[in-house]
Chains A and B, each alone.
Chain A
Amino acid sequence: MLGRLSATGKLFVGLLATLLVVSLIPSHVYIALAWDPATTDLTGTESSTDTSVANANRRFDIKGLTGTSGMQKGEDTDSIALLMKMIEKSGPNGFSATGMTLDDQYEIQFTIGGSDFSMLFRATGAAAGTMSLFYKPTGSGTWYSGETFSQSGIGSGTTYTSVSGNLGFNLKSMTPTTTGHVRLIVKKSYLVSLGATGSSVTYIFSATFANGNGSPGSGGTTPNDRCPSTGTASWTLSGDIPEFPLSPLVSGITTVAIYLYLRRHENPRPSKGKKPVAQHTA
């Protein structure tokens, strides 16, 4: 059938088919190219003067590194990541990704648009734990459970992702000379599905607890002093979430173009400057 089309017609149909295919490519095709974003220091998490928690004074300070930010943030087209640094300290308070204590709990909260989110990692063994995402409308008291991801055999510095690809984490052990970290990752589209809108990430804070109970906000009664946890910080994403819906736009433009093409060829306008030729019959 296409063989009977003119060269222009084939080109046009080919262009439409290409646009159609492009518009139908689901966004998760790009996930493999844009996951686990790199992080940089989060402004506002420098040293704190809060001394209300025993053994947790100067909680935004990293031992031996005055003025160093205690948290980091990062984003790519697919996900955002927030990281809390673990103090470089040997002994019982040091952080080891493969030597955690049962119910050690690491939590990062933030707000996007009118929704609060809590990413929470809780150790279920020396090298095992669960990462959960909780959410609630800002101002509401009830946290809803979004997703939980349980992982065993955790290694330092390795990034693990949930089956759905919505959540991920990376734990890195500290050394006597370098900080460790807990980096928690979440997919932007997942946050959108739970109510996030806009580009402003506010009320970012982190907290750690021994004997954590797995609940966000008030996850335990025994704060750890391994990481920064006082005050809040803000961060502006490079683009709004949800991102502009490009696929429907491409499809829409293509459809309108074809419709106009058809209309024009269905009812061709008379050319300007040319008078209709009178037909005479004998």
Chain B
Amino acid sequence: MLSTRLNVKTILYIVVAVLAIAITYLVHSQVNLSGEGRAIEAGLIESGDRPAIYFTLRNTAEVDANYTYVVAYNLTEGPTVEKSSIAVPPGGVFRYALSLARPSYGAIVVNLRVHRGSEIRDDSLLYEQTWIVGAQA
């Protein structure tokens, strides 16, 4: 009987500990909804006939920062270049995503460049990445 009560208590103490951790996590996640740790993160999401390129940029400085990104890719209609200058507050996060239609043949080459500041200079390049999105097999 005593052993059973001890087991119940042990389980309950473990449950309390897990709940305390869960509460801490939930409160933290609701207070800090955009808590990315890295400055720039980019990737390709292969999702059937709608692949997507994305990047996330976080301003880790303590002042407003300007960035310029250039996304260049070739579509059937011809080459496309998206260029934009953005302002991000301290600790702020900017997200970009490009949804593509997978080509029926050949490939789409996507090049991403992110520069510091509002002008594109060789010495202001922060990040560059190229992806090749192939046709469906």
Contacts and interface: CB of A to CB of B under 8 A. Distances in A.
A92 interface: no
Contacts, number: 127
Interface string B113-131: 0000000000000000000
The residue in B3, B13, B52, B95 that gathers the most chain A C-beta atoms within 10 A of its C-beta is B95
Contacts of B98: 150
A159 interface: no
A262 B19 contact: no
A20 B18 contact: yes
A162 B13 CA distance: 43
A211 interface: no
Dominant SS among interface residues on chain B: mixed
A5 B12 contact: no
Interface string B77-88: 100101010111
Interface string A136-173: 00000011111111111100000010111010000000
Given A251-B19, A261-B12, A192 B4 contact: no
Interface stretch (A35-43, A218-226, A241-249): A241-249
Given A144-B87, A245-B30, A152 B99 contact: yes
Given A125-B77, A251-B26, A252-B23, A1 B11 contact: yes
Contact of A23 (B11, B16, B26, B88): B26
Interface residues on B, range: 35 or more
Interface residues of A, number: 50
A162 B88 contact: no
B52 to A, nearest CB: 5
Contacts of A30: none
A130 B21 CA distance: 41
A262 B11 CA distance: 11
B19 A9 contact: no
A148 B88 contact: no
Contacts of A17: 15
A130 B22 CA distance: 38
Contacts of B86: 144-145, 148
B22 to A, nearest CB: 5
B135 interface: no
Given A4-B4, A143-B87, A265-B9, A149 B26 contact: no
B99 A255 contact: no
Interface in A149-204: 149-153, 160, 162-164, 166, 189, 192-193
A151 B71 CA distance: 13
Contact of A248 (B30, B45, B54, B89): B30
A171 to B, nearest CB: 14
A192 B100 CA distance: 29
Contact of B20 (A6, A192, A255): A255
Contacts of B22: 20, 23-24, 251
A148 B4 contact: no
A142 B97 CA distance: 23
27 contacts: A4-B3, A5-B4, A17-B15, A20-B15, A20-B18, A20-B22, A23-B19, A24-B26, A130-B82, A146-B95, A148-B95, A149-B99, A150-B97, A150-B98, A151-B99, A152-B75, A152-B99, A153-B101, A192-B33, A193-B34, A245-B27, A247-B26, A248-B23, A248-B27, A251-B23, A254-B19, A262-B13
